[in-house]
Structures are given as C-alpha cells and as structure tokens.
Structure 1
Amino acid sequence: MKYLKRLLLLIFVVYLLPTFAAAGLWAMKDRPGRWSEANWGSAHILPEPQSSDEAAVYIFSAATGGLKGAVASHAWIVTKEKGASSYVRYDKVGWGSPIRRNHRPPDAYWYSNPPQLVAQAKGAEAELLIPKIEGAIAAYPYSEPGGYTIWPGPNSNTFVAYVLRNVPELGAVLPPHAVGRDYLPDGDFWHVDADGRDLHVTLRGILGFSAGMRSGLELHFLGLVAGLDFANPGIKVPAIGRIGI
C-alpha cells in the first residue's frame, strides 16, 4: 500500500499537476469559440518559396482548438523541391481524406494558435530527405478514410511521428504535448528507429517509454510525456512542452 501511494503521488506530481496548470492557463486565454471563427491564415514564418531555389523541409506543431488545446497539439510536414515555386503541406486530419495535401497555407495558424518549428532541413540535405519523406507518407498504414482516432491514436501526431521515425535523418521528435505521437502502427509493442538510435516501447500509446539519441529518456502515461532531453538539454513537461536548460 505504501508503494502504491508513492506511485500515485508521483503520477499526480509529474503528469496531472502540469496538466491541471496547463488547463488553467488555457481557460484564461482569449480564443475562438468554434473553428469557423478561428484564424487559419499564414503566420508568415516561412520565406516566399520563390525567394530561393534550394530544397527545404519543415516540421511544424501548434496547439489545437477546444478543450483539448490545453494539453494537445497538431503537427504537420512541409516540403519544397529544389527550384519549386510552392510548398507542399501534409496533414493527417479526422475528416474527409485523412492525409490532406495543401488544405492550409504551409505555415498557417491552427485554430488561431501560432505554429512552432520543430525541425528543418535545407539545400542538399533536404533534396536527399524529400524522397524518403514522401516514401514514408505513402507507406503510412492509416491513410484511408476512417484511419483516425483522436485518442490514443492513430491521429495527426501519429502520422508525423511515423515519418520522423522512418526518416531519422531529420533528427527530431515531436514535442511532449503531441498526444498520439507514441501510438505505434498495427498494435506493435516496440519499435527501433531506422537508424537504430531510438527505442520506443508502448501499450497502444497509453503507457510506455522511449530512449535514445533523439528522444532522450521519456516516460509516457495516457498519452502524456515526461522526460529529459539530452541532445538539446532540457526537460519534457506533460501538456506544457519542452523547457530548455
């Protein structure tokens, strides 16, 4: 009983307390009441695609809308081929065709929330990565209508995390509030990234851990992530995100 109480206290302090804090801060924000009132326009983060001939890859994440915006974010992928005059954006959504192409501007607000840049690659590096990214997108196993479950997954973050695991050269993991990122396809219990540098163990994205060069050390509980980032020193706080040291 003593150990159970300690475990429950640990769960409360590490996972629930930050979640309640994030929910309180979210409740005080002025935000749109419905999706039709939200800003979905460009945040003007990316340069005009015609301004450079070099290839580029960007991974974005932004807080989502409604009550879930207090603890969860939405991620997407943007690419630009060498010499291209436009960007290509890929999202996994829960309505219509699940993987959308260019349904919003590449750096758009999401439910009026500004996007955060998770990772980027440019020039020759991006030229090599884009075919791999497109291959991973084509291979994503939940790309058909109906292949979306808001929690624990597969959802929008499951899609982007799948691409990042299969194209580890991007050198990134999604932020701790990207709920659904740790859901592994086909009910797999474990996965080693393509380059062997990160291990993921999970029970349907609900309970598990990740460890490695990119993930650092993470513990997952009900889709919430707590951990330590070693590559870019910091802590990963459930519902809040990464805090750098």
Structure 2
Amino acid sequence: MKKMILIGCLSFLLVACSNSDWRTASRESAGLAPKPDAVKEAVIEVYAADAFSWRGWFAVHTWLAVKAEDANEYTVFEVVGWRVNRGLPALHEYTTVTPDRYWYGAKPDKVLSIQGEKAAELIPKVLDAVKRYPWANEYTVFPGPNSNTFPTWVGQQVPELGLDMPFRAIGSGYAD
C-alpha cells in the first residue's frame, strides 16, 4: 500500500510540472505590466516566475524591465544559462511591449514596480548597474551567479529601488 501511495505521489509530481516542453510553453503576457502605449510615465519592474521544469518546484527565475518616459517599449534584462552554453553572454537584453511574459509556461509575479518621477530618476542608475554587472558572461545554477544573482546585484547597486527578492530566488545570496 505504501509503495502505491509513493508511486502515485511521484506520478502526480511528474504530471504537475506543466513546463515539460519549452518549445510549446506559453510566452504570452500575464497582464501585469503597464501597457507602454497607455502609460507614458517611466516604469521599473522586476518579475519572478517558477523556473523551468522540475526546478520550478524549488526556485524562481527573475528578470528586470525598464521603460523610459514616453517610450513605446520596455527594455528587459535577464540572465539565462543556455546562452553561455552557446557561447553567448548570460546577460540578455531585448525590447518588447510585454515584459511580463510567462516564463516558459509559468505565470510571473510582480516583485517590484516603480512608476513616474522616481522611476525616471532611477533608470539611469539601473542602466549603469546593468553595464557593470560582473558576471554577465557566467551562469551556474547553484550557488550562482544565475538569473536571481543579477537583479539582486542591481538592487544592491541601486538601493533606492528597495528590491526585496523572493525567498525562492536561489542564487540571490551569491551577490552578497
């Protein structure tokens, strides 16, 4: 009987992992970010979503997005390990109108949101910190540097953000 319960629990956990195929996983907007065509003020946001596959049971992936005043798109910054395996920098930058996309099937949560004059004042400091990120070409799942080390480090360089990383942001302590 105990063996059947154990097998049932393991089967449930395997099926419960909704992010089993990264090619078909949702990357749609979660509807959390202010739409850049409607909100003209500056915006800084940090998001966290369950990490891909079984890692999501234990950890989140985090990323940072900024939108300057009157900008039509956000600039998103995130650290992704597979890029290093392909000879690319781990730190990736791209522009989009949907900075709050699902992370390969996992709906993100908003960790930080700053809008208006304070965001406009802090964006140059954030961008400067991004340029100085010391592990832009490195990625190690544990203990780091990884996707959670990056926004933590930016938050340390720009304490006015008041960034409080989620408990499951494994690797955020690497920046200490």
> Do both share a fold (TM > 0.5)?
yes
TM-score by length of 2: 0.84
Deviations 1:94-139 (A, max 9, x none): 1133111127741100121111011111111001110110111111
SS of match in other structure, 1:49 = coil
1:140 aligns with 2:133: yes
Quick check: 1:60–1:76 contact (8 Å CA) kept in 2? yes
* Deviation at residue 153 of structure 1 after TM alignment: 0.4
**Pairwise CA distance, 1:25:** 8.0
Residue of structure 2 in register with 1:102 after alignment? 94
- Asked whether the 8 Å contact 2:73–2:95 carries over to 1, the reply is no
Which amino acid letter does the alignment assign opposite residue 120 of structure 2? E
| d(CA) in 2 for partners of 1:50, 1:25 | 42
Displaced runs of 4+ in structure 1, greater than 4 A? 23-28
The answer for the alignment partner of 2:78 in structure 1 is: 91
Residue matched to 1:53: 40
User: For residue 52 of structure 2, what is the aligned residue in structure 1?
Assistant: 65
User: Relative to structure 1, is the Cα distance of residues 160 and 52 closer, same or farther in structure 2, using a 3 angstrom cutoff?
Assistant: same
Instruction: Percent identity, please.
Output: 34
Structure 1 partner of 2:140: 149
Write the letter of the residue equivalent to 1:161: T
Structure 2 unaligned blocks of 5 or more: 1-9
For 1:199-218, what aligned pairs fall within 5 Å after superposition?
Answer: none
Residue aligning to 1:118 = 111
Distance 2:11 2:165 in 1: 23
Contact kept in structure 2, 1:26 and 1:70, CA below 8 Å: no
Instruction: Give the aligned partner of residue 34 of structure 1.
Output: 21
Q: 1:173 aligns with which of 121, 144, 164?
A: 164
Q: Is the 8 A contact 1:120 1:170 kept in 2?
A: no
Aligned residues: 161
Separation of aligned partners in 1, 2:174 and 2:142: 9
Q: Which amino acid aligns with 1:163?
A: V
Q: Give 2:68's aligned residue.
A: 81
Give the distance between the partners of 2:27 and 2:128, measured in 1 at CA. Answer: 28
Q: Give the letter for the 1:67 counterpart.
A: W
Give yes or no for contact 1:26–1:69 (8 Å, CA) kept in 2. no
Q: Secondary structure at the match of 1:183?
A: helix
